[in-house]
Amino acid sequence: MRLGEFWALEGVSLRVPEGAFVAIVGPNGAGKSTLLKALLGLVPFQGRVRALGRPLAQADPRWFGYVPQIKAFDRTFPALAVELVATGLLGRWPFRLSPGVRAEALRALERVGAEGLAERPLGRLSGGQLQRVYLARAFARRPRLLLLDEPATGVDRAGEVDLYRYLEAYQVETGATVLMVTHDWEAAHHASHVLVLNRRVVGFGPPERALSEECLRQAFGHLGHAHGLYLGGSGA
């Protein structure tokens, strides 16, 4: 995959078992966020992506839940947390919340222990609170594929533990497949699969195999960090 003259990803090919929890790790600039965006169809690429047995172009958008790394919005915009969650249900900003949509959004907030934030302006949320609201937004349509880009950014350790607990509970309940970009090595060791990425697939499989000394050296150049989806093609 080229971004201008730069190869962001090259020759990436892997098959993720349905219901897996995949931690995606690699150095800065390895293409981790780009990979998630490719899976969502947000960036052009050469190759093939299949989600739950279908080509990406035929996939239902409701299958996907996404938590971006950078929450880009104007914090002075007079929007409420419940309205942001509702965008995950509607696919657009709600100019008016129907009782049904509001009830669904509140249930999603309750799932992440954030129902008390529903009527709070987004500009008054802490980093950890905002992260919970975005996670509720991703949960809102009960997606079968959850893509999370550094979801623990700006969250303290207690909040991080809660985040993983909510993800685990959601996955147990729904059988969803989770792909999570992370720098948290503890989370990587507890995932069912780890993808070690550095523009190419360096390692993929159970943590004990993917986080081997050889894979970490190939990805990072040192060992200082050692503590149904199909993607294939030549430029994914």
Model confidence at 148, in pLDDT bands (50, 70, 90)? Answer: very high
Whichever domain contains 179, its CATH number is 3.40.50.300
Q: What is the pLDDT of residue 65?
A: 94
Look at residue 184 in the predicted model and tell me its pLDDT. 86
Token match 């201008």: residue? 4
- Find out whether 230 and 49 touch, Cβ atoms under 8 Å: yes
The answer on pLDDT for 223 being more than 70 is no
Q: Is residue 124 part of a domain?
A: no
pLDDT of residue 47: 79
User: What pLDDT score was predicted for residue 160?
Assistant: 86
Residue 125 within any structural domain of the chain: no
Look up residue 180 and give its two tokens. 């999570």
Mean pLDDT of the chain: 86
CA dist 24 and 193 (Å) reads 9
Residue 86 lies in a domain: no
Please calculate the CA angle 171-175-181 and round it to the nearest 5 degrees.
50
Asked whether residue 168 is domain-assigned, the answer is: yes
**186-203 pLDDT, tens digit each:** 888 889 999 999 989 999
pLDDT at 230 over 60: no
Q: Which residues are 147's β-sheet partners?
A: 66, 179
CA–CA gap between residue 11 and residue 176 (Å, rounded) = 26
Pseudo-torsion of CA 99, 101, 104, 109, nearest 10°?
Answer: -100
What is the per-residue pLDDT for 76?
A: 75
In whole angstroms, how large is the CA radius of gyration of the chain?
A: 18
What's the pTM value of the predicted model, to 2 decimals?
Answer: 0.86
Which phi and psi (to 5°) does residue 40 adopt? -90, -5
In a domain, 108, yes or no: no
- Greater confidence (114 vs 49) lies with 114
Residue 209 lies inside a defined structural domain of this protein: yes
| DSSP-assigned letters across all residues of the chain | -EETTEES--S--EEEPTT-EEEEE--TTSSHHHHHHHHTT-S--EEEEEETTEEGGGS-GGGEEEE-SS--S-TTS--BHHHHHHHHHHSS--SS--HHHHHHHHHHHHHTT-GGGTTSBGGG--HHHHHHHHHHHHHTT--SEEEEESTTTT--HHHHHHHHHHHHHHHHHH--EEEEE---HHHHHHSSEEEEEESEEEEEESHHHHT-HHHHHHHHSSSTT---EEEEEEE-
Rounded average pLDDT over 128-149: 93
pLDDT band per the 50, 70, 90 thresholds, residue 226 = very low
Q: What is the pLDDT of residue 234?
A: 41
Domain presence at residue 29: yes
Query: What pLDDT, on a 0 to 100 scale, did the predictor assign at position 72?
Result: 62
Looking at the 3D structure of the chain, how many domains does it have? 1
Asked whether the predicted pLDDT for residue 137 surpasses 90, the reply is yes
Is 217 among the domain residues? yes
Domain coverage including residue 208: 2-73+143-235
